[in-house]
Structure 1
Amino acid sequence: MEQSGVLTKILAGGVAGVSETLVTYPAEFVKTRRQLHFKPSDGAATPSRPPGSLSILRDTVSRSGVRGIYSGVQALATSNAAKSGIRFLAFETTRARLDALAGTKPDPIAGHGQRQPRAAWINVVSGLSAGVAESIAVVTPGEAIKTKMIHDASSTNGRFANRGLLGAVGVLVREDGVRGLWSGLTPVLCKQGTNSAVRFTTFAMLQERVAMWWPALDGSVGSTLVLGGISGVFTVYASMPFDNIKTRMQSVDARYKGMLDCAAQTFREDGVLAFWRGTSPRLVRLTLSSGITFTVYDQVVRLMKSAQAGRDGDNLQRL
């Protein structure tokens, strides 16, 4: 990834976050609906197996149209724009400080010099810091709203029927308090910390190998897209248990005392495989989103740097 200024990191990350959300949201919708298929607190019977992804899509479209598949997208797009900006800012800022401490030279512009290998711990710690920052500031409230809106959309008498994002937030704050927006914070911290640590570390390691073995491909759009997608695969399997626990804790019918209680009830009621429920749609989404995010981020950074260089050149000519 290219080195950049604070504003550039935030704006590029924001554009990348919105882009990947709009492309991959149907997979996120299906994943969340499958994860919400668990025994309700009132003891009512549920089918023994969750519905398949295609069944969920068919039922949703027949009941609510294509628009139904995008219920809750406003919350996720808004949070992803802020989340991605904060993530890249926190990651690159932390990594630059750790590079200085470790004596590692910053990455050269892709394709224009040999990259000095970075110690893996630098990317791991930088990724963890990015995950913690985005979890507290943006992800937890955004995920809580999105999950409740998706869960609510499956009910015939939903609390958020015919309400937009702001209307849903108003209902949640009025009924659950501001604290309700941060329900599930602990599993979100675990999930996002794992996400960012695995994603950035895997991407950086793969990027170093490409620079070493195929320097002509280093920094290309195709290379960034593929490497980002591969890093997304590793991220899914590492963080899926936290994602399932987070979804259950943020559901409309949440009945858990905390993260460990939720994990224990999940294991007792649905077995160990329930922790990886929804893996297929999330695998599709994160493979695409990781590739899109890294690619869009790098391209926006390059575009903004090029525009700034052009403005600087014009200013010099006027002097």
Structure 2
Amino acid sequence: MEFGIGATAACGACLLSNPMDVLKTRMQLQGELRARGHYTVVYKNVFHAAYAVVKADGILGLQKGLVPALWYQVVMNGIRFGLYRRVLNSGVISKADGSVSALGCVVAGAGVGIIGGFLGSPMYLIKIHLQSQAADSIAVGHQHKHQGFLAALYGICRKEGVRGLWRGSSTSIPRVGMGSASQLFTYSKSKDWLDHYGVYPRDSWQSTLFGAMTSGVVIAACMSPFDVIATRMYNQGLDSHGRGMLYNNIFDCFLKIYRSEGLRGFYKGWSAIYLRVGPHSFLNLILWDYLTRLHKKYKKNDSEGTTS
């Protein structure tokens, strides 16, 4: 049930946050491996990016890649939140007063994130491919020209085999590990702090909102470089031998971005990441908390009914 609760909460949040994910992907691919001032700026900022996408592709252009994005949430966050709840319930990282161990929270958050991210990698790959597809006037990065989710799934398997669905998955380990650890650590410790100082109870929606928005800033700052690398690695085209046309591996990608785009290259789309992560985290975490409490209440009532 913990896995179902995590997946449901993540999908609910994804429906509203996917447009910002599309904009983030486009901004991260803009000016790929080109120095600032040596490429055409298609997306000036996140708001201009939204306007450009709607103008060229229509309002539905903001929801490109929604199907694989939802499936990715089912796999990745279903596993991530499900396993993390199991860890919390086991008491392994909890203290006597109900708060969580900082180190235990980081390790558990990173661990469950890496597992979920790796297993959900095929969905993330297709999501990036579909989100980057755009009208010629606003296209950035490699254009894969898939005709939809199932066509992409079939096409990749036909050309590259099942292993091709995990192309770029090495980038999911640092990306999701860093993102998951920073989110769950900041979220859990923020709620502990608010509860400890009597600002808001640990289970209140105000505490969830503060924790989610705080964790959003930390996630955007910590995860952005890894997110840019993941987007580039997943989206790059392949040569006739099935090798990446731009990057050989995650380290090669890092060096090439740094040498051609500088440190700023790792923070392309930062504003879109935060505007996606903040609301997404809030909706995701508040739904997760609510569904978890609802499930506990149901189990308690069911147990009492059985006893009587």
TM-score (norm 2): 0.87
Q: Is the 8 A contact 1:18 1:80 kept in 2?
A: yes
Secondary structure at the aligned position of 1:80 is classed as helix
Question: Partner letter of residue 312 of structure 1?
Answer: S
Uncovered stretches (5+) of structure 1, i.e. residues with no partner: 1-6, 106-114
Report the Cα distance in structure 1 between the residues aligned to 2:45 and 2:163, rounded to whole angstroms: 33
Deviation digits for residues 94-142 of structure 1, max 9, x if unmatched?
4555x44x7844xxxxxxxxx344331110111111111112111x222
Match of residue 124 from structure 1:
106
Tell me the distance in 2 between the aligned counterparts of 1:147 and 1:272: 23
Of 28, 35, 60, 1:35 maps to: 28
**Counterpart for residue 108 of structure 1:** none
Q: What is the rounded CA distance, in whole Å, between the counterparts of 1:313 and 1:48 in structure 2?
A: 63
- Residue among 74, 83, 90 paired with 2:76: 83
Return closer, same or farther for 1:252/1:155 CA change in 2, 3 Å cut-off: farther
Q: Which moved more, 1:273-282 or 1:179-188?
A: 179-188
116 and 175 in structure 1: CA distance in 2 versus 1, 3 angstrom threshold: same
Q: Which runs of 5+ in 2 are unaligned?
A: 238-243
Tell me, in whole angstroms, the C-alpha distance in 2 between the residues paired with 1:190 and 1:63: 34
- Which moves more between the two structures, 45-54 or 70-79? 45-54
Residue equivalent to 1:230: 214
Q: Which residue of 2 aligns with 1:244?
A: 228
Aligned residues: 294
| Residues 14 and 70, structure 2, Cα contact 8 Å, conserved in 1 | yes
**CA deviation profile, 1:168-191 (whole Å, cap 9, x unmatched):** 211222233322221222221001
Q: What is the alpha-carbon distance in structure 2 between the residues aligned to residue 86 and residue 244 of structure 1?
A: 24
Number of the residue aligned with 2:241: none
In the alignment, what sits opposite 2:155? 171
Given that residues 224 and 291 in structure 1 are in contact (C-alpha distance below 8 angstroms), is that contact kept between their aligned partners in structure 2? yes
Which whole-Å deviations, capped at 9, do the CAs of 1:197-253 have from their partners, x for residues lacking one? 111111121111111111653211222122122112111101110000000001143
Q: Please state if 1:56 is matched with 2:40.
A: no
Provide the C-alpha distance between the structure 2 equivalents of 1:192 and 1:127, rounded to a whole number of angstroms. Answer: 10
Give the TM-score normalised by the residue count of structure 1: 0.84
2:263 is matched with 272
Q: How far 1:50 sits from its partner (Å)? A: 4.8
Structure 1: distance between partners of 2:52 and 2:71: 27
Q: Does the CA-based 8 Å contact 1:131-1:197 persist in structure 2?
A: yes
Match of 1:281 among 269, 272, 284: 272
Contact 1:24/1:288 (<8 A) preserved:
yes
SS of equivalent to 2:235: coil
**Residue correspondence of structure 1 range 239-318 to structure 2 within 5 A:** 239-253=223-237, 254=244, 255-317=246-308
Kept in 1: contact 2:110–2:180 (CA 8 A)? yes
- Contact 1:151 1:252 survives alignment (8 Å): no
Give the alignment's Cα RMSD to 1 decimal.
2.4
Change (3 A) 1:216 1:270: closer
Residue 274 to residue 215, structure 1, CA distance change in 2 (3 Å): closer
Residues 233 and 49 of structure 1: is their aligned pair in 2 closer, same or farther, counting only changes over 3 Å?
same
Asked whether the equivalents of residues 30 and 41 of structure 2 are also in contact (C-alpha less than 8 Å), the reply is no
Q: Is the 8 A contact 2:14 2:280 kept in 1?
A: yes
Measured after TM superposition, the shift of residue 196 of structure 1 is: 1.2
CA distance in 1, matches of 2:229, 2:52: 25
